């Protein structure tokens, strides 16, 4: 069932350009770089939701997963994702969940 749900989410995200995510990459960047703690909390919560979803719903062999090393905590991961989001200006027009997924796989790539 989890695999089916993950497949549906990925198919809808990529196959339906008319269906936007809840948050765009530019909006996410704005929340992550805002001076307000409330805005940054939105950023952190959204990032953790995407990480939890992709890392727990996708099988370990799925290319959509990142390989977060054992012992790496949430705070370190969030800081790395936010740092990446600040530099990746090319993908800011993407839905936030796609941008986070790309950032996660870039920051924590799987070894072949």
Record the pTM.
Answer: 0.75
Q: What's the CATH fold of domain 2-15+22-107?
A: 10k-s Protein, Hypothetical Protein A; Chain A (1.10.890)
- How many residues does this entry show for the chain? 112
pLDDT at site 5: 42
Q: Is the pLDDT of residue 68 over 70?
A: yes
Q: Is the pLDDT of residue 6 over 70?
A: no
Q: Is the pLDDT of residue 55 over 90?
A: no
Domain ranges of the chain: 2-15+22-107
Take residue 77 and report the two structure tokens written for it. Answer: 């991961």
**Mean pLDDT confidence for 37-50:** 94
């Amino acid at each position: 069932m989890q695999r089916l749900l993950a497949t549906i989410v990925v198919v809808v995200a990529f196959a339906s350009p008319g269906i936007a995510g809840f948050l765009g990459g530019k909006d996410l960047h704005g929340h992550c770089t805002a001076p307000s703690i409330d805005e940054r909390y939105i950023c952190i919560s959204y990032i953790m939701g995407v990480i939890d979803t992709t890392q727990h719903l996708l099988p370990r062999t799925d290319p959509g997963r990142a390989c977060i090393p054992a012992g790496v905590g949430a705070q370190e991961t969030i800081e790395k994702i936010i740092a990446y989001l600040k530099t990746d200006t090319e993908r800011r027009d993407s839905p936030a969940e796609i941008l986070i997924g790309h950032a996660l796989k870039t920051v924590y790539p799987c070894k072949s």
